[in-house]
Structure 1
Amino acid sequence: MKYRTLPKSLYIKNRKKLAQKLLPKSLAVFHSNDILPTNADGTMRFRQNNDLFYLTGIDQEESILLLCPDFPDPNMREILFLRETSDHIAIWEGHKYTVEEAFEASGIENIQWVENFDGVLNTLMALSDHVFLNTNEHLRAAVQVQTRDARFIKTCKARYPLHQYHRVAPLMHQLRAVKEKEEIDQLQVACDITEKGFRRILSFLQPGVTEYEIEAEFIHEFVRNRSKGFAYEPIIATGKNACVLHYIENKETCKDGDLILMDVGAEYGNYNADMTRTIPVNGRFSERQRKVYDAVLRVQRGAIDILRPGVNIQDYHKEVGLIMQSELLGLRLLDQTDIKNQDPKWPAYKKYFMHGTSHHLGLDVHDVGTMHEPISPGMVFTVEPGIYIQEEGLGVRLENDIVIEEKGFFDLMRNIPIEAEEIEDLMNK
């Protein structure tokens, strides 16, 4: 792998955590993602199924994990199936895991080729009562393409109709929401690479530069530091484009006097950073830009102070909304009449701050994890307030990635410049 892999002890620990949540006499099945087509004979770059990766560290297509913690034969309680390689595959596609390499990556001792899967599955099903199958149950998921997991659900239920079937996704959401130290270390690397990209931009940006040239500078820095590239489609939005929340065309020219909003993050080892910075194209904030910028920064810091163990995310968002309301009053974007007449379901501040403040971060950029239960130590959240003034063509968003600790927080982006003075100083060196 291009990235430095995490120790197999992490994946052994992760499997044990899942096994403890399964019912007696259970079997859990996880499939890798497909390699998806583009056109003609083209394919997209492979991206591993995050649940399979979380449990094994295996980053290869056509892989399957079976977990059967109560099976009488201890050797059959964890089985990893891999695509068998050949000289032909090695020439055309490159190296695939050997059995020894797969053990070193995952800590699973029973590793077999996928050709053996059906026979082994039949053996395990004979002594299992409960079957846990995997689906994509992310709150924002709009699944239109059938996955390997989905195809297997159909064939498994047809072949074994009398077993009791269960969803494993809720269990995986609970586990993945709370990160182990090794995962936080990997997230830190992704954030550090993102920092390098941002600092590169501070010395590159000037009037006349295009949004796509900035995108190119980021990707250059990311890839040269062992990242596959962007964790998500980058938003490089100058001027009024910053008021389009998911602007990804990145085609305009940066003009003197405008701000540029950059929502980018590097991927590293399948873990993702998620950063937003808004900076002046000419290296100096105008008076109005600075007031809006400082207001957003105060909201971000107020939000971070609220994020603590035991806090409910829904209550957190309401409190952040009140902080934002106060700042918008100070900017004279709202007045007391607006607040008095507001719809409680869509408060007045939503005119200028219409998205949420935080989401889970990890193997997915919008990582799995409940948004309706109290925050726990080890969770990682973005904190990303913004103010978008359509009539002024002015948008400011600031975003850092925060680890929740027992008595506070740890900012994974603490070294990425965010104070207006520091940004101006760096841009004008």
Structure 2
Amino acid sequence: MRYSSIDKSLFVENRLRLTELLKPRSLVILNSNDIMPSNADGAMGFKQNSDIFYLTGVDQEETVLLTFPDHPDEKFREVLFLRETNELIAVWEGEKLTKEQAREVSGITNVYWTHQFETIFGNIIFEADHVYLNTNEHTRNGSIVQTREARFVAEFKERYPVHHLVRLAPLMHQLRAIKQPAEIALMQKACDITKLGFERLLKFVKPGVQEFEIEAELIHEFLINRSKGFAYQPIIASGANACVLHYIQNDRTCNDGDVLLLDVAAEYANYGSDLSRSIPVNGKFTKRQREVYDAVLRVFKSAKSMLVTGNIWDEYHLEVSKIMESELIGLGLISKDDITKQDPDWPAYKKYFPHGTSHFLGLDIHDVGNKYRRFEPGMVFTCEPGIYIKEEGLGIRLENNILITAEGNIDLMGHIPIEAEEIEDLMNK
């Protein structure tokens, strides 16, 4: 792998934490993601299933994990299945993990080839009183593509119709919401690489540059620092494009007088970072641009201060909305009368700030977690307020990644320039 090896103790301990949540005599089954086809004989790049990576560290297709802590035979309590390599695969695709390499990566002793699954599975399944199967229960999941996990669930129900099935996703959401020290270090590495990319841009951006040229500068910096690239589809939105929340065309010329909204960040070892910055293309904010920028920055700082142990999602967002209302009034964008007459289901501030302030961050950019769970040490959230004024062709968003601790919070991107003066100074050096 491009990234440095991860100590297998992380994955061993993750499996132990999962074991503590299982019912007695339970079997857990997890499958890797598929390699998705494109056209003809083409395929897209492989992205591992986050849950199986969390529990094994294996970053390879056709991988299956079985964990059955109470199985009478010790050799069936943890079993890992890998795609068996051969000379042809090695020539065309490169070598796959050997069994010994998989043991070193995952800490799992009993490793078999995937084609042996049915034989081994027959020695395991009938000892289980409960079978935990995995599904995508992210509240924002809208994919119509059938995953390898979904196929396995359908096949399992047909072959073993009287087994008692249990949802694995709630347990994985509970575990993955709290980042372990090793995970935080990997996320910090992703943030550090993102910092290098952003600082490169501050020297590069000027009137006349293309949005896709900026994307190219970033991917160069990310790759030479051992990242696979962007943690998500990059948003490089100049001028009015910044008012399109998920603008990804990145094909416009950046003009003198534009503000450039950047929502761009690196991944590292499958862990994501998530940065937003808004910079003046010519290196100097106008008076109005600076007013809006400073308003967003004040909301950012207030919101960040509320990402602390014991707070809860809905109460946090309500408080942020009140601060945003005040800033929008100060900018002349809404009035107190607008607030008085607003639709409770679509408050007045949402015309200029239509998205949430934070989301969970980790192996997935919109990581798994439960919004009804009070904030705890080890949780990592984005903090990303924004103001988008279509009639002015101006959008400002600022975003950092915040780790909650028992003593307060730590900004994992606190070393990345965010103050307007600092950005202007760096752009004009």
TM-score range relative to shorter protein: over 0.9
Structural RMSD (CA): 0.7
* Aligned partner of residue 402 in structure 1, secondary structure: strand
- 2:288 aligned partner, one-letter code: R
| Residue 236 (structure 1) aligns with | 236
Counterparts of 2:103 and 2:79 in 1: how far apart (Å)?
A: 11
- 2:56 aligned partner, one-letter code: T
| Residue 37 (structure 2) aligns with | 37
| Residue 357 (structure 2) aligns with | 357
CA offsets per residue over residues 121-175 of structure 1, 9 Å max, x none? 1111111110000111111111211111111112212211111001101110110
* Aligned partner of residue 207 in structure 1, secondary structure: coil
- 1:14 aligned partner, one-letter code: N
- 1:291 aligned partner, one-letter code: E
| Superposition deviation, residue 419 in structure 1 | 0.3
| Residue 140 (structure 2) aligns with | 140
| Residue 329 (structure 2) aligns with | 329
| Residue 21 (structure 2) aligns with | 21
Counterparts of 2:154 and 2:259 in 1: how far apart (Å)?
A: 51
| Superposition deviation, residue 87 in structure 1 | 1.2
CA offsets per residue over residues 240-295 of structure 1, 9 Å max, x none? 11001011111111111110000001011000110000000000011111110010
**Equivalences for residues 167-182 of structure 1 within 5 A:** 167-182=167-182
Counterparts of 1:147 and 1:307 in 2: how far apart (Å)?
A: 34
Counterparts of 2:337 and 2:187 in 1: how far apart (Å)?
A: 44
> TM-score, normalised on structure 1?
0.99
- 1:27 aligned partner, one-letter code: L
- 1:423 aligned partner, one-letter code: I
Q: Where does the alignment leave 5 or more consecutive residues of structure 2 unmatched? A: none
Counterparts of 1:196 and 1:12 in 2: how far apart (Å)?
A: 32
Matched, 1:269 2:269: yes
| Residue 106 (structure 2) aligns with | 106
* Aligned partner of residue 374 in structure 2, secondary structure: coil
CA offsets per residue over residues 355-385 of structure 1, 9 Å max, x none? 0000000000000001122111100000000
Counterparts of 2:55 and 2:249 in 1: how far apart (Å)?
A: 36
| Residue 318 (structure 1) aligns with | 318
| Residue 341 (structure 1) aligns with | 341
| Residue 159 (structure 1) aligns with | 159
| Residue 65 (structure 1) aligns with | 65
- 2:228 aligned partner, one-letter code: K
- 1:13 aligned partner, one-letter code: E
- 2:99 aligned partner, one-letter code: V
Matched, 1:8 2:8: yes
Counterparts of 1:75 and 1:407 in 2: how far apart (Å)?
A: 43
Counterparts of 1:183 and 1:64 in 2: how far apart (Å)?
A: 22
| Residue 190 (structure 2) aligns with | 190
Which deviates more, 9-18 or 149-158?
149-158
| Residue 223 (structure 1) aligns with | 223
Counterparts of 2:207 and 2:363 in 1: how far apart (Å)?
A: 36
- 2:321 aligned partner, one-letter code: G
* Aligned partner of residue 21 in structure 1, secondary structure: coil
* Aligned partner of residue 327 in structure 1, secondary structure: helix
Counterparts of 2:119 and 2:132 in 1: how far apart (Å)?
A: 18
* Aligned partner of residue 24 in structure 2, secondary structure: coil
Q: Structure 1: which 4+ aligned runs deviate by more than 2 Å?
A: none
| Residue 203 (structure 1) aligns with | 203
Which deviates more, 149-158 or 181-190?
149-158
Counterparts of 2:91 and 2:225 in 1: how far apart (Å)?
A: 27
- 1:158 aligned partner, one-letter code: E
Counterparts of 1:35 and 1:254 in 2: how far apart (Å)?
A: 36
| Residue 419 (structure 2) aligns with | 419
| Superposition deviation, residue 12 in structure 1 | 0.3
Counterparts of 1:158 and 1:129 in 2: how far apart (Å)?
A: 17
CA offsets per residue over residues 60-108 of structure 1, 9 Å max, x none? 0000000101001222100000011111111111011011110110000
Between the aligned residues of both structures, percent identity stands at 61
Q: How many residues align?
A: 429
Q: Where does the alignment leave 5 or more consecutive residues of structure 1 unmatched? A: none
Counterparts of 1:133 and 1:402 in 2: how far apart (Å)?
A: 32
| Residue 94 (structure 1) aligns with | 94
Counterparts of 2:331 and 2:150 in 1: how far apart (Å)?
A: 51
Counterparts of 1:31 and 1:169 in 2: how far apart (Å)?
A: 13
Counterparts of 1:251 and 1:148 in 2: how far apart (Å)?
A: 35
| Residue 407 (structure 2) aligns with | 407
> TM-score, normalised on structure 2?
0.99
Counterparts of 2:336 and 2:146 in 1: how far apart (Å)?
A: 51
Counterparts of 1:372 and 1:391 in 2: how far apart (Å)?
A: 36
* Aligned partner of residue 124 in structure 2, secondary structure: helix
Counterparts of 1:79 and 1:143 in 2: how far apart (Å)?
A: 30
Counterparts of 1:131 and 1:331 in 2: how far apart (Å)?
A: 56
| Residue 380 (structure 1) aligns with | 380
